[in-house]
Amino acid sequence: MDTTTVPSPARKRGRNSSVILTDRLCEKRVAKRSKFYDRKCRGLYVSITTAGVATFSFKFTDRQTGKQRTGWLGVYNPETFTVEDARSRVYGLKAMGGEALVETFPDQKVAKAKRGRTVGEIIDERIKWMKTPVKKPDGEMRPRLESWDNTASHLNRFIRPRLGKKLAMEVTKHDIATLSNDIIAGKFGRPSVSNARHMRKAASGLFNWAAEAGRDYVTASPCVNLPKLDPEHPRTRVLSEDEIKVFWHGLDDDVLLASWDRRTRLALKFELVTMLRSRELLGARRDELADLDGDIPRLDVPLKRVKKRRVIQQPLSDLAVEIVREALRGSNKQFVFASPLGDQPLHRKAMADALRGDKRKGKVRTPGICALLGLKPFTPHDLRRTAATLAGDLGFDDAWIAKCLDHAASKKSEVVVPSVTGKVYNHSKRMKEKRAVLDGIAAELRRIVGASAPGIDPEKHQPRLAA
């Protein structure tokens, strides 16, 4: 009889096998979510996701019900929560025994539900939180974060498509860095370092908010120690005198620019003359105009429309007053630059769209003002820079110009001024200085546009010094 024995093949260790847990094991990469139970400490196990997140949990039997329960211990961190830390925690829990052990995890289902939230779910909750109206210092009820729509745009355009279905607690800094690199590489449209920077800011706000006590959707933000982005190059576009001539007189050509509303064109002039931001001037109301018929006309911009959330009192030059008067002529609407669609201000992008044109799917439907006038493309913000440059060329102090731009001036006459002076003690609007600058710009613009402009038929386009 053949007594040869054939050894049976060794069985593969199961996916949820028992091993001696080590820190190195917690840092390994797995093809699919895996659980490893610790031989040294009964009941302790680690769950490792494909994203490389290792989570410690503890299984025990509830003696009152006879059912097995699971207690969540924490996420592996080589510096703050290692395998030995998890074992020590379990030993301590076992020493408590009985009811005390059960009471340690009373909200296990709630905690598990929080940890199971996807990025898309917390984005929805974050947006709802941001746009919830709260009482502001001026007494008005406005969204908690007034720029919530911009933040929501970056969350929805970049983070949701890539990470929306992923569990929030599984997102790593590698995910954020990869998304940032893809934005810069143009995988989300035009390559943009600015969009990558804004995405990171939105993501950081999202995960810091999600980690706050009371939410605990994540244990820590993954937006830490990310690679530095390349610096963005500031725009330097300034219109030359010839371009200002073409632009100013071109805005008066109702035939050539028939596609663009007259009040939109007046708003562009107004930005060049007043140095206000688009958002600040487009919402201007009749009741915000002061002393329009007097010697010291001005526009009071409420803080809710101002970037730095502070009231701006902007003096109006005689040229600015002429623009306002034309914008109000024949209108009974409350807004100076009213939309043709009703008693509401022009859309916040109306001026930018008018300059660059209307495009759909990459095709130009309505040529922009720059193209129609043969000008190198520029933005409404470039008009502010152009006005500031004119003021500088006229010899005005940088600190005066900064006040007109609503910038915090740090120097005056080459002398450094402590920042606390401007923030706490000096609340003067420096109206005389601002008025001097804006009156000087108005006079310079009158000089520039008073001459015939290249490319403009002087008989067809008579120089119109007023609006």
Which pLDDT does position 100 carry in this prediction? Answer: 60
Which pLDDT does position 390 carry in this prediction? Answer: 96
Which pLDDT does position 235 carry in this prediction? Answer: 79
All domains of the chain, ordered by start, with CATH?
Answer: 18-106 (3.30.160.390), 119-210 (1.10.150), 241-450 (1.10.443.10)
| Cα 337 from Cα 345, distance rounded (Å) | 6
Q: Which residues contact 21 (CB under 8 A, 6 or more apart)?
A: 36, 38, 40, 41, 44, 46, 83, 86, 87
CA torsion angle 400 406 407 413 (round to 10)? 10
Are 183 and 196 spatial neighbours (Cβ–Cβ below 8 Å)? yes
Which pLDDT does position 5 carry in this prediction? Answer: 41
Which pLDDT does position 407 carry in this prediction? Answer: 83
CA torsion angle 462 463 465 467 (round to 10)? 60
Average pLDDT per block of 10 residues along the chain, 467 residues long:
43 61 91 91 91 88 76 86 92 74 56 71 95 87 89 95 90 93 92 94 95 84 90 86 95 92 95 94 93 92 83 93 93 91 89 88 84 94 95 93 81 43 47 94 94 45 45
SS (H, E, C) the chain: CCCCCCCCCCCCCCCCCEECCCHHHHCCCCCCCEEEEECCCCCEEEEECCCCCEEEEEEEECCCCCCEEEEEEEECECCCECHHHHHHHHHHHHHHCHHHHHHCCCCHHHHHHHHCCEHHHHHHHHHHHHCCEEECCCCCEEECCCCHHHHHHHHHHHHHHHHCCCEHHHCCHHHHHHHHHHHHCCCCCCCCHHHHHHHHHHHHHHHHHHCCCCCCCCCCCCCCCCCCCCCCCCCCCCCCHHHHHHHHHHHCCCCCCCCCCHHHHHHHHHHHHHCCCHHHHHCCEHHHEECCCCCCCEEEECHHHCCCCCCEEEECCHHHHHHHHHHHCCCCCCECCECCCCCCECCCCHHHHHHHEEEECCEEEEECHHHHHCCCCCCHHHHHHHHHHHHHHCCCCHHHHHHHHCCCCCEECCEECCHHHHHHHCCCCCHHHHHHHHHHHHHHHHHHHHCCCCCCCCCCCCCCCCC
**What's the chain's Rg over C-alpha atoms?**
32
* Pick from 134, 151, 150: nearest CA to 208: 151
